[in-house]
Amino acid sequence: MTTKKLNRIYAALVAAAILILAAGFIQQSIHRQNSIPVLNEGSADATSPENKPKLIMGTSPDYPPYESVDALHGGEIVGLDIDIAKYITSRLGYEMEIESMDFNGLIAALQTGRVDFVMSGMSATEERKQNVDFSSIYYVARNTIVSKSNSPYASTESLKGKRVGAQLGSTQDTFAESLQDVQLKKLNRIPDLVQELKTGRVDAVILEDAVAVEYTSANPDLVHHFIPAAGQEDGYAIAFPKQSPLVDDFNRVLGEISENGRLDDMIKQWFRAEEEEAGPLKQLNLDFGMLGQYAPYMLRGIYVTLLFTFVSALFGFVWGTILSLFKISGIMPLQWFATAYTSVFRGTPLLLQLFLIYYATPQLFRYDISPLLAAGLAFGLNSAAYLSETIRGGIMAVDRGQREAAMALGVPYRTMMVSIIFPQALRTILPALVNECVALLKESSLVSVIGVQDLMRRANVVQSIEFRALEALLFVGVIYYVLVLVLTSLAHLLERRLRRSD
């Protein structure tokens, strides 16, 4: 009875994994075509909504007022850059889709074809021009020093010997590196830099002027001082892959809205809105009341986190089982392959594997893999390397007499493994499998770095809006803990049921 139940469970898991992965690949295969059609203004395609081709815009939505997430209204990405991009793409006859990611991954996304253009308060520096093409400048900003009001720094000379923060890969990062005798700390996200400043881990942060005004307006314990413009980098521009046919069309529309004043109206609208919406003083003490309005937005991340964990666990279990059979097969090429696979995936960082799958797949195979599917594959492949050893150990732990008896009765090898050996091994390794699922659930927070809207990513969004980190992080921490408790409780129920069936 136990063997039949375990066989049914195993068959159901395999079928579910295959169906989920197949659905993901089918969805992605029809998501978008690799080539970018260039429309002539006034063409039939440009005026027919159902025939509009799609352009994907990459951005890092933690840079208000240029781009940020409106967590109170469906999680839409809004801002000055978004409005400009929507107007230009609509004017050219394109449909626009936004893909969010960390700022330091935007250039890589362009080079690998993940996105068609980037707008994220990105300056057209000479270093970046070697790797991507830029449009005309649409806004010129100033670097600004943000520091505590009780210990202000008003000039670059006053920063000597101090700890200075800057966003990794930004113009402010480049500018900060040119400062003499400073201890530079680089982070991916501006909200994290501001939090480091408020907690005293850095003495000052270099930000762009409009962003600096936004943060100091919402945090009266912070002040900003503009740095003279001499020697600063060029202004913000739209970035494209090298030799992109879109550059001239975007420049034409940028020229039009600059001449007719529409661009100035957009800038004034967003900068005025940020000044009006600047909040009251936010102290470092806990205030969980502000989470009430963001709770629905963050709770929607549970589905993404669980879906990712389920897909990764299923794929890792199935592939790990195959690898374990390779290792005990006695066929040398299969053993070598499984051993080498395990060595590579256990010997390299999981985050590196995630980045390679996400960015290398479009470049090498011309397949626009979605962030969630890339994360599922990376975590599944990594989990399989560990599970293969666990499953192999469980199989080897089964009494050798079971195999000898099956062979004496003439039971085929495949039937013996599926119906006799593997069910007993599965019961033995069930606690280890549960531990792997728990690890996957917690490690799923890593997928936020490629823009997957999981629990951790949504907590970061709330942090960037409210300038408060602890409340949102504690909230999602409780959610993770509850999910782990539920998972372990279900595993204990399954173990007790299997023991009663013996």
Same domain, residue pair 57 and 21: no
Same domain, residue pair 360 and 486: yes
Same domain, residue pair 399 and 496: yes
* 37 in a structural domain: no
State how far the Cα of 1 lies from the Cα of 190, in Å rounded to an integer: 58
* 38 in a structural domain: no
**Which of 154-158, 260-264, 293-297 shows the lowest per-residue confidence on average (mean pLDDT)?**
293-297
Mean pLDDT of 24-28: 43
b/e map 305-319, b = 16+ CB within 10 Å: bbebbbbbbbbbbbb
Same domain, residue pair 210 and 82: no
Mean pLDDT of 223-236: 73
Give 255's pLDDT tier (boundaries 50, 70, 90): very high
Q: How confident is the prediction for the chain on average, in pLDDT?
A: 80
* H/E run at residue 259: helix 246-259
Same domain, residue pair 409 and 449: yes
State how far the Cα of 76 lies from the Cα of 495, in Å rounded to an integer: 43
**pLDDT for 75-109, tens place per residue?**
789 999 999 999 999 999 999 999 888 887 888 88
Same domain, residue pair 245 and 102: yes
Same domain, residue pair 81 and 189: no
Q: Which of 202, 226, 250 is the last residue before a domain boundary?
A: 226
* 118 in a structural domain: yes
Mean pLDDT of 258-286: 67
State how far the Cα of 492 lies from the Cα of 495, in Å rounded to an integer: 5
Kindly report the CATH number assigned to the domain that includes residue 311: 1.10.3720.10
* 289 in a structural domain: no
**pLDDT for 114-144, tens place per residue?**
899 999 988 888 888 899 999 999 988 788 9
Give 482's pLDDT tier (boundaries 50, 70, 90): very high
Mean pLDDT of 481-490: 89
Same domain, residue pair 384 and 460: yes
Report helix angle 246-259 to 262-276, nearest 10: 80
Give 280's pLDDT tier (boundaries 50, 70, 90): very low
* 439 in a structural domain: yes
294, 472 in Cβ contact below 8 A? Answer: yes
Same domain, residue pair 332 and 276: no
State how far the Cα of 30 lies from the Cα of 25, in Å rounded to an integer: 9
**Which of 25-39, 122-136, 473-487, 488-502 shows the lowest per-residue confidence on average (mean pLDDT)?**
25-39
Same domain, residue pair 55 and 112: yes
* 34 in a structural domain: no
State residue 168's pLDDT score: 85
162, 181 in Cβ contact below 8 A? Answer: no
State residue 234's pLDDT score: 60
pLDDT at residue 209 tops 50: yes
The torsion region of residue 108 among left (phi > 0), alpha (psi -120 to 50) and beta comes to: alpha
Same domain, residue pair 361 and 432: yes
Residue scoring higher pLDDT (423 or 132): 132
State residue 87's pLDDT score: 94
**pLDDT for 347-406, tens place per residue?**
999 989 998 898 888 777 877 788 888 888 999 999 999 999 988 888 887 877 777 787
State residue 341's pLDDT score: 94
Q: What is the CA radius of gyration of the chain?
A: 27
- Show the domain range for 475: 2-29+295-500
State residue 33's pLDDT score: 38
**pLDDT for 28-46, tens place per residue?**
433 443 344 444 444 434 4
pLDDT at residue 55 tops 90: yes
Same domain, residue pair 487 and 355: yes
* 351 in a structural domain: yes
What percent of the chain lies above the pLDDT cut of 70?
83
* 39 in a structural domain: no
What amino acid is encoded at 446 in this protein?
L
Structural domains in the chain (count): 3
**pLDDT for 303-333, tens place per residue?**
888 888 888 889 999 999 899 889 988 889 9
60, 191 in Cβ contact below 8 A? Answer: no
pLDDT at residue 439 tops 60: yes
Tell me phi and psi for residue 54, to 5 degrees. Answer: -110, 140
pLDDT at residue 423 tops 60: yes
Give 497's pLDDT tier (boundaries 50, 70, 90): confident
Give 272's pLDDT tier (boundaries 50, 70, 90): low
Joined together, the tokens standing for residue 195 give 């939090």
Mean pLDDT of 451-459: 83
Give 230's pLDDT tier (boundaries 50, 70, 90): low
Looking at the chain, how many residues does it have?
A: 502
Kindly report the CATH number assigned to the domain that includes residue 88: 3.40.190.10
